[in-house]
Amino acid sequence: MTHPTSPFRALFTGLSAFPLTPIRDEEVDEAAYAGLIERLVAAGVDSITALGSTGSYVYLSTGERARVAQLTVDHAAGTPVFVGVGALRTREVLANVRAAEAAGAQGLLLAPVSYHPLTEDDVFELFRTVTSATDLPIVVYDNPGTTHFTFTTDLYARLAELDGVASIKIPGLPLSPREFAAHVEAIRAATGNQVSIGISGDALGAAGLNAGCDAWYTAVGGTLPAPMLAITRAAVNGEAERASELSADLQPLWDLFAEFGGSLRVTAAIAEHLELVAAPSLPLPILGLTDSQKRRVAEVVETLNLH
Amino acid sequence: MTHPTSPFRALFTGLSAFPLTPIRDEEVDEAAYAGLIERLVAAGVDSITALGSTGSYVYLSTGERARVAQLTVDHAAGTPVFVGVGALRTREVLANVRAAEAAGAQGLLLAPVSYHPLTEDDVFELFRTVTSATDLPIVVYDNPGTTHFTFTTDLYARLAELDGVASIKIPGLPLSPREFAAHVEAIRAATGNQVSIGISGDALGAAGLNAGCDAWYTAVGGTLPAPMLAITRAAVNGEAERASELSADLQPLWDLFAEFGGSLRVTAAIAEHLELVAAPSLPLPILGLTDSQKRRVAEVVETLNLH
C-alpha cells in the first residue's frame, strides 16, 4: 500500500533540535537566535524545529513568528527546518503556515493549543483544515502537559490518514522498555506504518529511540546538541545499551528537569550560563529560575562538562 | 484598618454578566454583540464583564479586544463594564489594559493564562506588574479548568495586599452548604476582608451566593440574564431557599453543561437558538455542539421557557 505522505517520512528521523527563542527586553534577540541555529548546524543535527514549546511559540506575535521562521532557514545552511505553527485560533494557525511556507520551511509542527478544552472532532478538523491548506508535511504535536489535549491512538489513526501528516511527536511515558516498545508498535500498527514516530520528553529520549521511535524531538538538544546526538547515534546504530548509558550519565540534568517543573526554565538557564543568550531570556510572565536554582544548574553543567 | 482597594469593593457585587463575543466568518459580529449588551442592560444586570472566557478573549487579536471593549462601554448605558485583559504574555496583557482604560472600563478581569505551567511567583509578579500599571480595580480570575493554574489561599492573601486587587472570582466547588460557607469564610479571613469574593461555575451560582459570596460572575447570565438575576436577587435578599429552588428549576440546563463539557458550547447554542447570534458563533477550532446536541439544548430552552 502506498500513501502520499510516505515520501516525507524519512525527513522526520534522527535528532530534531528545538532551539530556544531568546527574549531580551521583550523582543526576540535575533543575533543570539542566529547563533543558536548556527551552533545546531555545526553540531550536525538532523533537523531543526523552530518555534516549538521550547521556542516559546505561543508567546510571540504572528509577525515575530514569521521573522523567527525566516531567521532559522537563513542560518540553517541547508539543514531541514520545521516550524511550529500552533495557535489558539485556526485563523492564526493558517497565518503561521503561510509565513513558514514563505520562509522556506520543509515541515510544520502543529499542536492543538487549547484554552477551552477541545473535542476530538475539533482537533481532527483543525488538522484537516491545515493539511488542506498546505503542501508541507506536518508533525502532529502531542504534548498534553502544555496543550491539555489528550490524543487517543484512534485519533492518531484518523490523522495519519490525512495527506500531509508525516510524523507524530509522542510524549514520554514512564514505561518499562518492553511496554514502551509495545506502545510504539501499537501506534505504528494503528497508523498503518505510514508516519514516523518521534519521542519527546528529554529524559526519555534514549528509552523512546530504543523502543523503536524514528526520531527524538528534543528540547534540551536545541541548546546542548552534542550529548543528545551521541545518544541518538548510538540508538539508531542499534547500540541500545550504549544509548541508555549515555542518557544515564545525564541523570543529574534529568533530575533538575523533574525538580524545576520541566525542561524550559532549566534549558534557558543552561543557555544563559553558557552565554549563548543574555539573561533573562524567557518571555514574561515566566520569570525563569531563581538565582539559587540557576547556581544548581550551573553546577550540573560544569560537573557533566556540558557545552 | 483601611485599605486603598476598599472603595472599589462595592462595585464587584451582585450579578456580573459575561456575554459571548459572537464570531461570524472569523470576524467579531459587532451588531450581534451590541445587541447582547443592550439585552443585559435592559435586564438590569449589576455589571457586565466583557471578554471573559465566555467572551472568547484569548482567541481574539489585541485590536479585536480593544474594539469589543469599546463596543461594550458604548452600549452599556452606564452599567459598569469590566474587561478581561488576560493573555499568555505580560506584554499583551498590558496592551489590553491600555485599551480597556481608553474604552472607559471601570474594572479589569485578569486570569493567569498559561502554556508552560506558571509558578506562584510568576503569577504574583504578573498581578504586581498590572496593578502598578493601572488605576483600575482588578478581579483575580481563578479558573483552573482553562488557565491550568491553581491558586492557593496563601496566594489570594498575597494578591489581596496589592493596591488595586478588588475581587477574587473563585471556581465553583462541589461542597455542602456548610463546607462552602467555611471555604468562603476562610478566603475572607485570609484576605483581610478587603476584597469581594465572586462565584463562577453557573450550576453553583446559587450555592456560592448562599455561602456568602458577594458576586456571581456568570457565563450563562450573559445570554440569559433574567433567570440568573432572579436567583441573585433572592440570595442577596437572604432568601437562600428560594435561590436554591430557582437554581434547581434549571437543573436540566446544568445537566447539559456537565454533559457537553462546560458552559461555553451550550451557551453559544442557546444564543443561536434564540437568534441573538448567527450560527456558528464560536471561533475555530471550536466547532460547537453537533446538530443533535443543539436540538437537545433547544428542547431544554423551550421546556424551561428560557429567553
Dump pLDDT digits (tens) for B43-98.
Answer: 999 999 999 999 999 999 999 999 999 999 999 999 999 999 999 999 999 999 99
| C-alpha cell at position B60 | 481574539
- Which parts of chain B fold into alpha helices (H)? 6-9, 30-43, 62-75, 90-103, 120-133, 144-147, 153-160, 177-190, 205-210, 225-236, 240-249, 251-259, 263-273, 291-303
Q: Which CATH superfamily is domain B10-239 in?
A: Aldolase class I (3.20.20.70)
Residue B257 backbone phi and psi in degrees, to 5: -55, -45
The interface predicted TM-score of the complex, written ipTM, equals 0.95
Could you read off the pLDDT of A46-102 as tens digits, one per residue? 999 999 999 999 999 999 999 999 999 999 999 999 999 999 999 999 999 999 999
For chain B, the structural domain boundaries read: 10-239
Q: Please give the pLDDT value at position A3.
A: 43
Is B115 within 8 Å of A113 when comparing Cβ atoms? Answer: yes
- Mention every residue, 6+ apart, whose C-beta is less than 8 A from residue B140: B110, B127, B151, B156, B159, B165, B167, B168, B169, B195
In whole angstroms, give the CA distance from residue A149 to residue A11. Answer: 26
Q: Please give the pLDDT value at position B172.
A: 87
Active site residues per annotation of B: 141, 169
Could you read off the pLDDT of A230-286 as tens digits, one per residue? 999 999 999 999 999 999 999 999 999 999 988 999 999 999 999 999 999 999 999
**Looking at CA atoms only, how far is residue B119 from chain A in angstroms?**
8
For residue A23, what are the β-bridge partners?
A28
Residue A298 backbone phi and psi in degrees, to 5: -60, -40
- Averaged over A38-53, what is the pLDDT? 98
User: B74 and B85 in contact (C-beta within 8 Å)?
Assistant: no
Q: Which of A18, A23, A51, A116 to mutate to test the interface with B (most CBs of B within 10 A)?
A: A116
Distances (CA, A) of B172 to B139, B206, B234: 16, 10, 19
For residue B108, what are the β-bridge partners?
B83, B138
Catalytic residue check, A169: yes
Q: Please give the pLDDT value at position B173.
A: 86
A54 is in an annotated binding site: yes
Distances (CA, A) of B80 to B130, B132, B168, B223: 20, 22, 17, 17
| C-alpha cell at position B294 | 443543539
Amino acid letter at A75?
A: H
Distances (CA, A) of A9 to A139, A156, A255, B130, B202: 10, 15, 33, 47, 48
Amino acid letter at A87?
A: A
**Is pLDDT at A290 greater than 60 in this prediction?**
yes
**Looking at CA atoms only, how far is residue A36 from chain B in angstroms?**
21
Nearest to A125 among B117, B146, B287 (CB): B287
Could you read off the pLDDT of B200-251 as tens digits, one per residue? 989 999 999 999 999 999 999 999 999 999 999 999 999 999 999 999 999 9
- Averaged over B29-40, what is the pLDDT? 98
Q: Which of B64, B116, B150 to mutate to test the interface with A (most CBs of A within 10 A)?
A: B116
Is A121 within 8 Å of B59 when comparing Cβ atoms? Answer: no
CA B291: distance to chain centroid? 27
Q: Which of B96, B286, B289 to mutate to test the interface with A (most CBs of A within 10 A)?
A: B286
Q: Give the CB-side neighbour count of residue A115, counting CA atoms within 13 A.
A: 28
Distances (CA, A) of A104 to A78, A109, B113: 10, 14, 32
Q: Please give the pLDDT value at position A7.
A: 62
Q: Please give the pLDDT value at position B58.
A: 98
Q: Which of A33, A57, A141, A217 is catalytic?
A: A141
Is B118 within 8 Å of A262 when comparing Cβ atoms? Answer: no
Residue A10 backbone phi and psi in degrees, to 5: -60, -25
Residue with cell 469574593: B197
Query: Helix B177-190 to helix B153-160 angle, to the nearest 10 degrees?
Result: 40
Q: Give the CB-side neighbour count of residue B194, counting CA atoms within 13 A.
A: 22
Q: Give chain B's contact residues with A (Cβ, < 8 Å).
A: 26, 53, 58-59, 88-91, 112-113, 115-119, 121-123, 125-126, 129, 145-146, 148, 261-262, 264, 283-287
Q: Please give the pLDDT value at position B1.
A: 36
Averaged pLDDT of chain B:
96
**Looking at CA atoms only, how far is residue B59 from chain A in angstroms?**
6
Cβ-Cβ pairs closer than 8 A, A with B, add up to 86
Question: Fold for domain A6-239?
Answer: TIM Barrel (3.20.20)
User: Which residues of B fall within a CB distance of 8 Å from A262?
Assistant: 116-117
